Amino acid sequence: MTAPTLDLLAPVLVSRVATELSLNPQQVQRTLALFAEGATLPFIARYRKEVTGGLDEVQLRDVRERAEYLKEMEDRRAAILKSIEEQGKLDDALKATILAADTKQALEDLYLPFKPKRRTRAMIARERGLGPLAETLMQGAMDDAAMLAQAAGFVLPEVDGKPSEVPTPEAALQGARDILAEQIAEDAVVRGWVREVTRAKGVVKSSVLADKKSDDSKFKDYFEFSESLGTIPSHRMLAIRRGETEGELLWRIEAPVEEINARLFSEVGTGKKAVQQFTLVCADAYKRLLSPAIEVELRVELKTRADDEAITIFGRNLEQLLLASPAGEKKVIGLDPGFRTGVKVAVVSATGALVHTDTLYLHQEDRFAGAVRLMVERFTPELIAIGNGTASRETETLTKAALREMDAPRPQVVVVNEAGASVYSASDLARSEFPELDVSLRGAVSIARRLQDPLAELVKIDPKSIGVGQYQHDVNQTRLKQRLDDIVESCVNRVGVEINTASSALLGYVAGIGPSLAQSIVSLRDSKGGFKSRGDLKDVPRLGAKAFEQAAGFLRVRGGVHPLDASAVHPERYALVERMAKDLGVAVGELVGNEALVDRIALQQYVSDDVGMPTLRDIVAELKKPGRDPRAAFEPPAFREDIQKPSDLLPGMVLEGVVTNIVAFGVFVDIGVHQDGLVHVSQIADKFVKDPNDVVKVGMKVKVTVQSVDLPRSRIALSMRSDGGMGPRAGASVEGGTRRDVQQNNQQNSPQRGGARPAPGKPAAKPFVPTKGAVAPNGIRFK
């Protein structure tokens, strides 16, 4: 019979979640009830503020995740109690202790002595009748000599010519020590403090395998490395684990062994006369049983901690990238640069429809320029999007040169981050969208559309391929996927989706929809020529009332039957808005977008049991600016045309760039030279910065000063400080990042297709100060 499981709405869970998160129990209970009914997080955050007391998405996610953790813990507690009870070993004191345990680890520590296990040395000793000798030893009344004499009575004779299982008094004492060592090692209190002492004073140490020692290794800095277990940053821990996975490094946790053994003896051996025996028992309990088990636990804890931080960084960067400014419905020429295979060209309409493709070659400059001018004249694009991979700057230079030969107005040239475009090109979705199109040309379409609407295009790509993470292939993939899916879902629903133009990939992230219903929506849309109202969604096969409730507010129908269909006002509130309009003596269509009229609405008179001021304020904001986009206005960066490659850079140059990735130790910035530069955390601002995210975001335009350029190692050091990084804080080691951290970045953080960033084990370039007579890393001598 299995142990009973606990309901998520159980009072004990609700009360504890409320206490831990400093929330009202009623808020937690109502929130969990909504989740239990199948409500999605975006829907609850946007349309059920009165029910939850105004909890935002982060708080809602915390409530859900903490409740799920506590439910798992309570279910485990019930299973442990049932198991021990079935063994006939559950007394009132043990039960009370188990009921008081407040972590999964504490529960497992208490259960360990009763947990079914393989045959141990202590079990074998008990089978040989050495339990009473162990009890005598534990009583501590006999000294070492007396215990040896006592052990003589436990020696066993040979049986049927087989060797004795306990041939000598010392063998008997060894068995007794085995029993006591296991008892000590399985004591929950002992395990608890050994774990805490190791966690507080332990050191992570790594070393290189003898046959892997090389000056070129990206893990060189970890060949003889040590750092406190409690403070080692996640990126360094992940780098060490990567080195272990790749067969170059070994690592271990070094605990304060002498301190632990001394405390063990103090707690177990004090007052015992058999000092030698208890010294051996304590040493064996720690070395053979406690140390390996605690190290395994703490290695898992280190990985979990590092994973959590890496996943958080990845999620934050992804969110910023997805919410990057859209250029909007403008005709775009997309150019996917390449030397050998040529520059792939895709022209898309204002709605993203493909209208023309071509392939141009950079070495055929006249034909390239003529083709660009011809496409501009023929398709009248407002923008030209160029991927930022290999040959990007050469493509940009030729394109701008061609445009200079034309009369105004000319399209604006914008360099676009193309990370993941090749992944999309070869995907099933790309094949279904463009079955007849060559893979390489699909990438150009993606680049053009990415400029129009980054969110709509990036959702088609596995988030792990977008290139804004850190060691994303090394962290827990289940937790990473869940977190990234949550981020994408949040972004999509925050922006809203136009149902008549959205891809199935984008629709799949709308609250309550999912991939299967998204495909059904697209199929019905294609067959009937589009949706005229939100109500038409009810005609979609398998889209029931609950799915409609969750999704409707996030879907837009521009030019639809009802004027509110293009807004974020939920259909369940249409009657309320119609009442507002009627009270003002106007039609709903006249109210939408008319701020003067909307300001005349007396909100208080529309408050009811299920509609409070939070919802009313949201409705009014939406009526003033229906379908408003929360993303910032589009403003492309302007790279210097005379700076094409790293060798063009000089220390002291001030450039404009775009943040492409944020990690714990700094910020990577695209300055238009095929290779991102690093702004170390100490160079982000004039003041102390602990978390780079407090200052910058992915996609943000920044002004940087070149500190140094190391061409052989492909390193560009940048500064965002007002003094260009030449002041007293230059190169300083600060909390949150040190110069060692520069070396921890790896191939996963490299800009796709041609970019490069520092790899683990490679020392960072030191800041270069351009003084008289000095020679910069790129060979330039300053006068």
> Does residue 193 fall inside a structural domain?
yes
Position 758 scores a pLDDT of: 37
- Say if 192 falls within a structural domain: yes
Asked if residue 58 belongs to a domain, the reply is yes
* Average pLDDT estimate for 722-739: 55
- Helix ranges restricted to H, 563-688: 574-584, 588-591, 595-598, 613-624
CA 330 to chain centre: 33
Asked if residue 185 lies in contact with residue 167, where contact means CB atoms within 8 angstroms, the answer is: no
Choose the weakest-confidence range: 234-238, 468-472, 720-724. Answer: 468-472
Q: With the CA atoms of 59, 60, 65 and 67 taken in that order, what torsion angle do they form, in degrees rounded to the nearest 10? A: 100
pLDDT at 472: 80
Report the pLDDT value the prediction gives residue 714, as an integer from 0 to 100: 82
The answer as to whether 653 is a domain residue is yes
Q: Both 107 and 125 in a single domain?
A: no
Higher pLDDT, 265 or 673: 265
Give the CATH number for residue 182.
Answer: 1.10.3500.10
126 and 78, same structural domain? Answer: no
Nearest to 371 by CA among 402, 332, 342: 402
Question: What's the pLDDT score for residue 213?
Answer: 86
Neighbours of 128 (CB within 10 A): 17
**pLDDT for res 100:** 94
pLDDT at 780: 36
Q: Residue 391 maps to which CATH number?
A: 3.30.420.140
Q: Are residues 238 and 187 in the same domain?
A: yes
How crowded is residue 31: how many other Cβ atoms within 10 Å of its Cβ?
26
99 and 178, same domain (yes or no): no
Q: What is the mean pLDDT of residues 130-149?
A: 96
Answer yes or no: do 302 and 412 share one domain: no
CA distance 98 to 84: 11
For residues 96 and 136, membership in a common domain is answered with no
Count structural domains, the chain: 4
Name the domain boundary from 452, 471, 506: 452
Q: What is the mean pLDDT of residues 185-201?
A: 97
Which of residues 452, 478, 495 is at a domain's end?
452
Given this model, what pLDDT does residue 3 score? 61
Tokens of 748: 């996963």
pLDDT the model gives residue 673: 85
Q: What is the mean pLDDT of the chain?
A: 89
Residue 781's pLDDT is 37
Residue 93 lies in a domain: yes
773 pLDDT more than 50: no
- Angle formed at CA 556 by CA 553 and CA 558, multiple of 5 degrees: 145
Domain of residue 87, CATH code: 1.10.10.650
- C-beta separation of 94 from 188 below 8 A: no
* Structure confidence by residue, pLDDT tens digits, 540-597: 999 999 999 999 999 999 999 999 999 999 999 999 999 999 999 999 999 999 999 9
Q: Taking Cα atoms as reference points, which of 514, 516, 515, 550 lies closest to residue 534? A: 550
Neighbours of 451 (CB within 10 A): 27
pLDDT at 48 over 80: yes
Mean predicted confidence (pLDDT) in 296-317: 93
Query: Are 139 and 281 part of one and the same domain?
Result: yes
Q: Assess if residue 581 is contained within a domain.
A: no
Nearest-angstrom CA–CA distance, 63 and 604: 31
Per-residue confidence at 763, pLDDT binned at 50, 70, 90? very low
pLDDT at residue 407 tops 50: yes
Task: For residues 214 and 242, give the distance between their C-alpha atoms in angstroms, rounded to a whole number.
Answer: 16
- Banded model confidence at residue 604, pLDDT cuts 50, 70, 90: very high
Lowest mean pLDDT among 284-288, 632-636, 748-752: 748-752
Strand runs labelled E in 499-642? 555-556
- Residue 722 domain-assigned? yes
Amino acid code (one letter) for 591: L
Cα dihedral angle (653, 657, 660, 664), rounded to 10 degrees? 50
pLDDT at site 545: 96
**Which of 425, 452, 479 lies at the terminal end of a domain, its last residue?**
452
Selection from 295, 296, 210 nearest residue 254 by Cα: 295
- For 3-24, the pLDDT digits (tens) are 666 788 889 899 999 999 999 9
The fraction of the chain above a pLDDT of 70, given in percent, is 92
- For position 687, which CATH number holds? 2.40.50.140
- Give the per-residue pLDDT at 344: 97
Mean pLDDT of 141-154: 96
C-alpha–C-alpha distance, residues 130 and 128, integer Å = 6
- Per residue in 504-536, pLDDT (tens digit) is 999 999 999 999 999 999 999 999 999 999 999
Cα 226 to chain centroid, rounded: 26
36 in the same domain as 175: no
User: What pLDDT digit, counting tens, does each position of 322-370 carry?
Assistant: 999 999 999 999 999 999 999 999 999 999 999 999 999 999 999 999 9
Mean pLDDT of 492-514: 96
653 shares a domain with 739 = yes
Could you tell me if 204 and 341 lie in one domain?
no
Shared domain for 294 and 381, answered yes or no, is no
For every residue of 85-149, DSSP letters joined together read: HHTT---HHHHHHHHH--SHHHHHHHHGGGS-----HHHHHHHTT-HHHHHHHHHT-S-HHHHHH
Domain span at 695: 646-749
The residues, any chain, with a CB within 8 Å of residue 595's CB and separated by 6 or more, are 624
Task: Say how many CA atoms lie within 13 Å of 427 toward its Cβ.
Answer: 20
Q: Which helix (H) or strand (E) holds 226?
A: strand 224-228
Strand partners, 498: 556
Which pLDDT belongs to residue 664? 83
188 and 80 in a common domain: no
Q: Are residues 721 and 708 in contact, defined by beta-carbon separation less than 8 angstroms? A: no
Residue 616 located in a structural domain? no
Find the range with the poorest average confidence among 84-93, 105-114, 459-468, 497-506.
459-468
For the segment 213-230, the average pLDDT, to the nearest whole number, is 91
